Amino acid sequence: MANILIVDDDPAVQLTIRLLLERAGHQVTVAGDGRKGLVLVEASQFDLLFLDIYMPGMDGLETMRHVRALQPAIPIIVISGRSITPDTYAEPDFLKMATKLGAVASLQKPFRADALLAAVDGCLKAGESEGSDVNASHR
């Protein structure tokens, strides 16, 4: 199955996603913040990245920018616990913004297990069809 990196500062979210993915047969690595996530991306090849938008230090949008520079083809699913329907006085919709900046999918916390697994499957299938062309050119 896939080698997946989770970058989220919430240990409960890390554990939940990790258990769901491991039960589905995936190999999972966890990082507690953007900087640790980048170190792992530099050191290993991942098939998919879960990235929290709101983290202390380096937030998810900045982390995604660095990841895109290192591994432009890696599918990224952004996750956030903030409201996805901001009102006039609230902050912008960062999940929507992240997908415009290159994330393949977004999930609003709390998310359902089936929604998470469906997003993973969709991203991996899209990555396989694109990745076969990319991998062939690097041989």
| Inter-residue contact 46 to 21 (CB < 8 Å) | no
Report the CATH superfamily, name and number, of domain 3-137: Response regulator (3.40.50.2300)
Nearest to 64 by CA among 92, 14, 102: 102
Per-residue confidence at 10, pLDDT binned at 50, 70, 90?
A: very high
Flag whether the pTM goes above 0.85: no
pLDDT in tens, 92-105: 576 677 777 778 88
Higher pLDDT, 131 or 42: 42
State how far the Cα of 82 lies from the Cα of 54, in Å rounded to an integer: 8
What's the pLDDT tens digit per position in 60-74? 989 999 999 999 999
CA–CA distances in Å: residue 82 to residues 33, 53, 129: 17, 9, 32
